[in-house]
Amino acid sequence: MKVRANSPQGTPRARRPGPGGPHTLLRPRSSRPVVKVTVLVGSKSDLEVAEKVRARLDEFHVPCEVHVASAHRQPDKVDRLVHDPATDVFIAMAGLSAALPGVVAARTLKPVIGVPLNRGLGLDSLLSVVQMPPGIPVASVGLDAAENAALLATAILALKYPELEGELQKYRAKWRDEPAPAPGKSP
Ligand code: RP5
């Protein structure tokens, strides 16, 4: 079967938004939201960073769900969430030994963005996420880097939903006029 460029699983490339306004294709048709990005965090104590991801994705009108699901303490829950067919991109964040991004990546072929959280040494979670063994990749961003995780997820989604390119362009244009914040801080 011939697969068109930018058409995952051979589905036709998403059209530009119609009269319904921006991101028609990202809007749910039924009452149940269509999830595009699923964020998993290892603990309730990680929710603050996850909410920053949600806030950025909300600005881009990208549907997002956040779940607490520890790789060590709730492996069955992680498994259930990873097999949700509505998710296009996963963002997994955890501190300390931070197994969650790798565990999610081991169970799906979809892109997984890992966010190491600055909880113990900092280096512990960073290396746990970055140093994945060959064959099971995780796209790691920096410590607590919620903003970059959301932007990377949006860039991946833009391959399937081209209307998101406009959001990313607007975002970049804003950066040209504003000074960069300190590392790990959202603008
Ligand atoms: C990790 O251990 C979590 O991701 C969290 O960052 C850290 C501490 O967890 P709690 O003791 O707050 O549950 O698994």
86-102 pLDDT, tens per residue? 999 999 999 999 999 99
CA–CA separation, 60 vs 150, rounded Å?
10
Q: What does the pLDDT average to over 121-135?
A: 96
Residue 181 has a pLDDT of 67
Of all atoms in ligand 1, which is nearest to the CA of residue 72? 14
DSSP string of 110-170, one letter each residue: S-EEEEE--SSSSHHHHHHHH-PPTTS--EE--TT-HHHHHHHHHHHHHTT-TTHHHHHHH
In whole angstroms, give the CA distance from residue 129 to residue 115. Answer: 7
Give, using CA atoms, the residue closest to atom 1 of ligand 1.
Answer: 95
Which atom of ligand 1 is nearest the CA belonging to 117? 6
Q: Which atom of ligand 1 approaches the CA of 46 most closely?
A: 6
Q: How far is the CA of 45 from the centre of ligand 1 (A)?
A: 6
Instruction: Please tell me the pTM assigned to this model.
Output: 0.81
